[in-house]
Structure formats: C-alpha cells, structure tokens
Amino acid sequence: MIEFPSHSISPIGIIHSCYPEKFGIPRQPGLVKSSSGRLALLPPYNREEMVRGLDAFSHIWIQFLFHEAVVDGWRPTVRPPWLGGQKRVGVFASRSPHRPNYLGLSVVRLTGICQDKHGLFLEIAELDLLDQTPVVDIKPYVPYSDGIVGASGGFIPPPESVEREVVFSEEAAIFCRDYEQRTGRRLRSLICESLEQDPRPASQRRQMREYGMALWDVNVRWQAQGERFLVLMILER
Ligand code: SAH
C-alpha cells in the first residue's frame, strides 16, 4: 500500500443557483445560456486576494460535491441517459453523480466577481448545478489545453438539434413579464431553453402528463405534446 498524507476535503464555497431541485437541471453546463447563479466563497477563503487575476478568464472549472447523491450511494456501473437509460457503462466512463467520492466537475461562464456586505461572490452562468451545492475548488479554464479540438465524445453525443416549440399560456406569459420586471431575472428564456432540452426521463417521452419544474423561487407547470411544450402556469413556491 502506498503511503500518502492523510487529507480531508471541505467546501471553499457554496452555489446559489436558479435550480432549487434536480428535475430540470441540464445534463451538462453550457446547454442553458440563461441559467445563472452565484458562487459564494466561505471563510477563510472569502478573501479578494484568493481570486485576484481570475476576472481575466471568461470561464472557470468548478469542482463540487454532488451532495444530494451521497444518501443514495454509488454503483460500479450506471445507465447514462445518453443511452436511453438502457445500457450500462462503468461509473468511471460516465458523468453520473453516483460515483465514489461524489465529485462533480463543470466548466461555467464567469460573468463577474463582486464583493458586498454579504461577502465575496463569483457571478456564474450556463451552469448545471443544484442550489446549495458545496464547492471544493475553482480553477481558470485554459482554452489552449482544456479545449481539445477533434476529441472523441464516446457514447456521449452533442445535444440533439431537435426543433422544439415552447408556447406560453396568457397567464404564464403575464407572470413572466411581471417577474422579470420585479427581479431582473430572465425567467422566460430560462424556461424556454430548459424545456428545449426536454427534461423528461427517456422512459416518459411518449407520455402526456403534466410536470412541475422549480426555477428560482417559482414552480413552472408544463406539458409536452410531441415536440411542443406548453407552459400552463407559473406559481410562487
Ligand atoms: N458537469 C458535471 C455534472 C454532470 S451530471 C460533471 O460532469 O461532473 C449533471 C446532473 O447533476 C444534473 O442534471 C443534476 O441533476 C445533477 N446535480 C447537480 N448538482 C448536484 C448536486 N449538488 N447533488 C446531486 N446532483 C446534482
């Protein structure tokens, strides 16, 4: 057995995101342009000097704990959604949250760094992170070595370019308009882009039923009719 120094990991920050629940979160970052949030640095890491120079980068890597997967445990093989939830692959050949150590890795857009009386925050967008996710490390994204031209994506395909229409009821459209004026959040495009990803599990894609999706502090009720998504109503949570 190789000897190495004993070390435990604890969070350096916490995510505040538009996704209070797992259902509706995209499968990878970069897919929903209007998704956004903040990474709040925790003491003793909430010091301006610790992020000095980071604002020069457009994107950052966030390493985090899949904290909501820990209670379910992990398995050596998983059924990734990319394979229609049928075929099994090794957990280390997947991006599943249910993995030993439960560590996640996402590249997100860095839109700002701000300090106010509540603390030090990184403003982030295009994310796939649940609200309250504990963050264990941050690194700048380095295009020349992190972006590999011609890399093979294995069985994880780029997102399908299916044309999906998202239609709002009059009530839902009015709610969005008022909410956007009140909060400055781009709720309507967040809903459209999230539904364009079709958040339903592969097994339910043929069914006609109503779904609820939590975004920020609202609950969005919607229904799929083929490739057409109807936003029925939006309620405060
Ligand atoms: N980009 C990351 C995550 C991919 S899995 C990686 O490759 O490691 C993306 C899914 O993780 C999302 O659809 C969401 O359901 C889930 N997720 C995000 N944050 C989570 C958390 N804190 N705990 C458990 N699951 C989470």
Q: Is the CB of 66 under 6 A from ligand 1?
A: yes
Stretch 221-227: mean pLDDT: 92
For residue 128, the domain's CATH number is 2.40.30.70
DSSP for 160-227, written as a single string: P----EEEE-HHHHHHHHHHHHHH---HHHHHHHHHHT--S-GGGTT---EEEEEETTEEEEEEEETT
Same domain, 113 and 183: no
Same domain, 225 and 114: no
- For residue 165, what are the β-bridge partners? 228
Pocket test for ligand 1, best of 96, 128, 132, 198 (most atoms within 8 A of CB): 128
Q: Which atom of ligand 1 is nearest to the CA of 23?
A: 15
- Distance (angstroms) between ligand 1 centre and the Cα of 84 equals 18
Same domain, 55 and 128: yes
Domain total of the chain: 2
**Tell me: the pLDDT tens digits for 133-191?**
999 999 999 999 999 999 999 988 888 777 889 999 999 999 999 999 999 999 999 99
- Range with the largest mean pLDDT of 80-94, 114-128, 200-214: 114-128
Q: Which residue's alpha carbon is nearest to atom 18 within ligand 1?
A: 129
Same domain, 142 and 169: no
Whether 82 has a pLDDT exceeding 80, the answer reads: no
Same domain, 136 and 176: no
Same domain, 119 and 53: yes
CA distance 58 to 191: 24
Domain that holds residue 127: 13-67+102-146
For residue 225, the domain's CATH number is 3.30.2310.20
Q: Is the CB of 69 under 6 A from ligand 1?
A: yes
181 assigned to some structural domain: yes
Same domain, 26 and 136: yes
pTM summary value: 0.96
Pocket test for ligand 1, best of 22, 60, 70, 109 (most atoms within 8 A of CB): 22
Whether 207 has a pLDDT exceeding 80, the answer reads: no
pLDDT in the model for residue 202: 79
20 assigned to some structural domain: yes
Same domain, 132 and 184: no
Same domain, 42 and 121: yes
Same domain, 125 and 174: no
With beta carbons less than 8 A apart as the criterion, state whether 177 and 168 touch. no
92 assigned to some structural domain: no
Q: Where are the alpha helices (DSSP H) in the chain?
A: 143-146, 170-183, 187-196
- Distance (angstroms) between ligand 1 centre and the Cα of 130 equals 7
Give percent of the chain with pLDDT exceeding 90: 85
CA distance 81 to 29: 15
Burial class (CB in 10 A: 0-12, 13-18, 19+), 122: buried
Q: Average model confidence (pLDDT) for the chain?
A: 95
Q: Which residue's alpha carbon is nearest to atom 15 within ligand 1?
A: 22
157 assigned to some structural domain: no
